[in-house]
Amino acid sequence: MLGILFTIVLCQPLSASIVSTYDSDLDGWILPNPTDASFSWESPGGNPGGFARFIDGLQNNGGLIRAPGKFLGDWSSFDSISFEHRQIAAGIGNSYVPYEVFLSGAGGSARFTESHPGTAGSWISVTAPLTEPSWTIESGTWAGLISNVTQFEIRIEVLDNNNTLGDTAGIDNVVLRSAAVPEPASLAIWCGIGMAGMIAGWRTRASRCLRGASRKVAQSPVLI
């Protein structure tokens, strides 16, 4: 029975990653403090297909985009955040600031930073491991935060432009990745082995039952 339960549990669909590929729209992402900046869906130009485009204005807008509800909740079964960022146009007299990711919830808040290479034009992949040493805890605890994330933001504007126009950036392929699971091929092998074992067990028990029944018939007295 335990083998049957193990096989059934193992072969159930595994928790999936949560993804925004911007194939057809912004997928619920917003610029919470837009002022005079522009945040829109564009296609083509992504990596591949569509992407989320930010065009800065004269006023300070924070340069952060906020995730939709599908990304929020208990993150304890996820192991990383990744996204692709492209600085399309750098403007004039601007200096780069680090990539940043911000998480907050009732249990705390934290910030992840990674240096920008300082060049524009190509898509750059950024990965933030969901491990406490990779983040700066700004309030509460990591365990308390990760158990219920209520706000997730990514810095799309990575230029300190001193209120000048001209910088344009894009984000694509945001992924909240599920924790490591067996590769599909390995999982199929293990599920196949489990099912084969179950079938073999059933056949063995059925064979024993038939042999037992045959012996009983053979030993029964014949009535005339």
Q: Using one digit for the tens of pLDDT, what is the confidence trace for 24-68?
A: 999 999 999 888 889 999 999 999 999 999 998 777 678 999 999
120 pLDDT band, cuts 50/70/90, is: confident
Tell me the domain boundaries of the chain: 16-178, 182-219
Tokens describing residue 182: 């067996």
Nearest C-alpha neighbor of 173 from the set 73, 46, 75: 46
171 in Cβ contact with 85 (< 8 Å): yes
Angle between helices 2-10 and 184-219 (to 10 degrees): 150
- The tens digit of pLDDT for each residue in 145-200 reads 999 999 999 999 998 866 566 689 999 999 999 987 554 444 444 445 454 544 45
What sign does the dihedral 146-132-47-94 (CA atoms) show? positive
Alpha helices, H only, 93-222: 142-146, 184-219
Tokens describing residue 93: 């007299």
> Would you say domain 16-178 falls under CATH 2.60.120.260?
yes
Nearest C-alpha neighbor of 113 from the set 128, 125, 123: 128
> What's the CA gap between 139 and 102, in Å, rounded?
12
